[in-house]
């Protein structure tokens, strides 16, 4: 029986994971659940799964959470704040941690789980992007397992012998990440000038949160995944390619030195990757419909348009720059996307803010979490100043 902590339980990844877990009550028990600020949704999940501990990210809501848990007749304990999240991820209530908190907020708990030797199901790509060297060090110290949950990296994991071997020893030539192209595939820059948050969040294939939906629309999500692939699998930037695949059925591919290319296919449903990661090396039912290739008729692939969707090019630039440049990229992107969603920044300006931030802040070595957090905050302040100067 695996004891699971679902960090980010009220988001789309958390909901999919809990759906898989509920199908296998003899295999998994949920003992820790967390949410950002949605107390009512968290209490409802506690009523269904009866965890030992419920965590709310905002410390101001801890009392509200405790009162509502008690009013619901639940014995689940309440806690709040980043330190409590990290303690729970590393603590004795779980042996498996799904890291599904969106953005930089998920970094500390992810690192804590890795240092504690847990089976880490990584859905928080920002932890790898921001703190790749620290994450790898934490895994070495803890001796636990990391299984990627992003559909693209989980696909690569499945196509490699043994999951994450040294690529040269495995005879790997290239990792090929697929991108749906998002809702604006094929559009020109002129056609993107006035797009709205609602249009950017209308993904054609996947149901996701608003921030990651915008990242998909800009192709920054794919850029972050390129950086994550470098961290998780040790591939050089030149050995990681991106192809646009509108059907989202081929989730990624691995090309070998002998010319073979292995691909993982499936319907666009995160429950496949989550079920694989939860039960690995076994396979379990995920509730996902079988893939009917004959009904799909066509699989198409094309090169990404790096001139129109510049965020992907900026991610490669940050990866090649090294040091904490990926963390600066991620911080500037989070600020710019928040402003776009709030209606104060044009869609095309997201890339402009990121590029200007990287231009003002040369990369520095990644030495520890405290320094990285300081640099993250500096990049956010820089991005906000650039926006005030250029767009307000």
12 known ligand binder: yes
Is 150 among the annotated ligand-binding positions? yes
User: Which are the contacts of 295, defined by CB distance < 8 A and separation ≥ 6?
Assistant: none
225 is in an annotated binding site: yes
Alpha helices by DSSP H, 234-309: 271-279, 293-296
User: Is 124 marked within a binding site?
Assistant: yes
* Cβ–Cβ under 8 Å, residues 34 and 6: yes
Please indicate if the annotation marks 222 as binding a ligand.
yes
Helix, strand, coil percentages, rounded to 5, for the chain: 50, 15, 35
Q: Does 292 carry a binding-site annotation?
A: no
Question: How, if at all, do strands 261-265 and 250-256 pair?
Answer: antiparallel
Distance CA 8, CA 42 (A): 10
Q: d(Cα 112, Cα 378) in Å, to the nearest integer?
A: 24
38 in a known ligand binding site: yes
- Residue 310: how many CB atoms within 10 A of its CB? 22
Q: Is 203 among the annotated ligand-binding positions?
A: yes
Q: Are 284 and 27 in contact, with CB atoms under 8 Å apart?
A: yes
186 marked as binding residue: no
- Cα–Cα dist 335/269, whole Å: 28
Q: Is 152 annotated as a binding residue?
A: yes
State yes or no: 11 annotated in a binding site.
yes
* 180 labelled ligand-binding: yes
Measured CA to CA, the distance from residue 141 to residue 147 in angstroms comes to 17
**At 357, which helix (H) or strand (E)?**
helix 349-360
Q: Which residues, other chains included, contact 363 with Cβ-Cβ below 8 Å and sequence gap of 6+?
A: 318, 321, 322, 323, 324, 325, 328
Question: Closest Cα partner for 111 from 80, 140, 79?
Answer: 140
Output the known binding site: 10-13, 37-38, 124-126, 150-152, 180, 203, 209, 216, 221-222, 225
Output the known binding site for Mn(2+): 150, 152, 225
Output the known binding site for 1-deoxy-D-xylulose 5-phosphate: 125, 151-152, 180, 203, 216, 221-222, 225
Output the known binding site for NADPH: 10-13, 37-38, 124, 126, 209
């Amino acid at each position: 029986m695996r004891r699971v902590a679902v960090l980010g339980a009220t988001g789309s990844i958390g909901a999919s994971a809990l759906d898989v877990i509920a199908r296998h009550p003899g295999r998994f028990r949920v003992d820790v659940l967390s949410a950002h600020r949605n107390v009512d949704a968290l209490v409802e999940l506690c009523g269904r799964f009866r965890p030992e501990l419920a965590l709310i990210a905002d410390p101001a809501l801890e009392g509200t959470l405790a009162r509502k848990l008690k009013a619901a007749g639940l014995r689940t304990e309440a806690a709040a704040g980043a330190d409590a999240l990290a303690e729970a991820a590393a603590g004795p209530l779980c042996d498996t941690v799904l890291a599904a908190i969106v953005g930089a907020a998920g970094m500390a708990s992810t690192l804590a789980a890795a240092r504690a030797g847990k089976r880490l199901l990584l859905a928080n790509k920002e932890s790898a992007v921001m703190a790749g060297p620290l994450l790898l060090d934490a895994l070495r110290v803890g001796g636990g397992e990391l299984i990627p949950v992003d559909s693209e990296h989980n696909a690569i994991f499945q196509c490699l012998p043994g999951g994450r071997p040294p690529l040269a020893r495995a005879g790997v030539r290239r990792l090929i990440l697929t991108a749906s192209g998002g809702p604006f595939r094929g559009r020109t820059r002129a056609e993107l000038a006035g797009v709205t948050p609602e249009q950017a969040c209308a993904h054609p294939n996947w149901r996701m949160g608003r921030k990651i939906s915008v990242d998909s629309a800009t192709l920054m999500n794919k850029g972050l995944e390129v950086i994550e692939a470098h961290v998780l699998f040790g591939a050089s930037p030149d050995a990681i390619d991106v192809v646009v695949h509108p059907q989202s059925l081929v989730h990624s591919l691995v090309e070998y030195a002998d010319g073979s290319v292995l691909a993982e296919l499936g319907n666009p449903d995160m429950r496949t990757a989550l079920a694989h990661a939860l039960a690995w090396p076994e396979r379990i039912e995920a509730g996902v419909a079988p893939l009917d290739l004959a009904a799909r008729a066509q699989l198409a692939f094309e090169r990404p348009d790096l001139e129109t969707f510049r965020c992907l090019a900026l991610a490669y630039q940050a990866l090649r720059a090294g040091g904490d440049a990926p963390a600066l990229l991620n911080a500037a992107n989070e600020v710019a996307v928040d402003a776009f969603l709030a209606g104060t920044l044009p869609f095309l300006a997201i890339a402009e803010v990121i590029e200007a931030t990287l231009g003002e802040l040369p990369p520095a070595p990644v030495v520890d979490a405290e320094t990285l957090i300081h640099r993250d905050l500096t990049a956010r302040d820089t991005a906000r100043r650039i926006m005030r100067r250029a767009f307000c």
